[in-house]
């Protein structure tokens, strides 16, 4: 997965930036929960 470049980020609207941040947050939460499952179960 590739993040937006600086140029792409500048062209993005605040709405798109918020959506992107939420998406990244969700992905991180999923990865963390999978890591915890591997560790403890």
- The pLDDT assigned to 6 comes to 85
Q: What's the gap between Cα 39 and its chain centre? A: 22
Helix (H) or strand (E) holding 40: helix 14-40
State the pTM of this model. Answer: 0.58
User: What six digits make up the tokens of 33?
Assistant: 């929960």
- The pLDDT assigned to 1 comes to 56
Average pLDDT of span 20-41: 92
Average pLDDT of span 12-18: 89
Asked if residue 29 has pLDDT above 70, the reply is: yes
Average pLDDT of span 12-41: 91
């Amino acid at each position: 997965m590739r993040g937006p470049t600086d140029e792409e980020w500048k062209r993005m609207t605040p709405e798109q930036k918020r959506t992107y941040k939420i998406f990244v947050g969700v992905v991180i939460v999923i990865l963390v929960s999978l890591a915890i499952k591997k560790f403890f179960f």
